[in-house]
Amino acid sequence: MSDRLDAVLETAAPLLKRAGEVLSAAGAPPDHGVWPSLRRVRLLPWDAARAVAALRPADLSEAGPELRLGARDYAGIAESLPPPGVWSGEAAEAYDAARRRTAGHLTGTDDSLGERLDATAALAEGLAAWMSRARSELAVTLAGVLTSAEALTLDAETRRGRMDLASSGEAEAAAQIAATVLETVAAAYDAASDLMTATEPLAEVNWS
C-alpha cells in the first residue's frame, strides 16, 4: 500500500540525487550542520531517503495479534496442567513442584514464554508505529525541501546544464538540502535505537 512518502519520493529523487552529487564533488564548509548528520547516517540524502522508503510497517501489522494469541495459548496450557488431586506423598509433592515450575515457565512471570511473547508483540507493534512515523516525517521533510529556495538554486543550475563547483550558492544549497533530509533520518535512527534499547531484556533468559 502506497502512502505520501511513496508519492513525494519520486518527485524528490532528481533533487536529492543532485544534492548528493554536488555535496560529494564540492563538499561543504567545515562548520556546516550537514557534517554531524552525515557522520550519523553515513548515507547521502537519496540513499538515506530510499532506506526509509524501504520500511514496510504493514509487514508487521499481523505479528502483534498472532504473538498475543500465542501468549494466551501458553496461559491455557499452564491452567490445564492437572494438580496431584488425591495423590499424596513425596512423589506427589515432586510432581506438583514440577507442575508449578512448568506453569511458571509458560505464563505469569516476567521470564515466562507468555510474557516474552507479549513483550515481543509490543516490540512488533512499536516497530510498526516507528516505521509509519519515520515515513510520514520524511514525507513532510521532502515536501518542504521541494519548495525551498535551495531546491530552486539547484534546479536553476540543472536547467543551465552545468555544475559550477565554484558557486558557493550551489554548494551551500546542496549542503542545506542534505542536512535537512539527513537530520530527519538521523532522528528516526535515534528513535529506533531507543526502542531497541528498551526491549533489550527480551534477549535475556533468567530461568532457574
- pLDDT(121) > 80: yes
The model's pLDDT over 11-40, given as tens digits with 9 standing for 90+, comes to: 999 999 999 999 998 888 888 999 999 999
**157 closest CA partner among 141, 174, 144, 143:** 174
* pLDDT classification of 160: cutoffs 50, 70, 90: low
- Whether pTM > 0.85 for this model: the answer is no
pLDDT at residue 136 is higher than 70: yes
- Residue 32 in grid coordinates: 556546516
Torsion sign (Cα): 108, 112, 118, 123: positive
Query: Please, are residues 20 and 46 in contact by the beta-carbon 8 Å criterion?
Result: yes
The mean pLDDT of the chain is: 86
Q: What is the pLDDT of residue 104?
A: 83
Compute the distance between CA of residue 86 and CA of residue 66 in angstroms, rounded to an integer: 38
pLDDT at residue 76 tops 70: yes
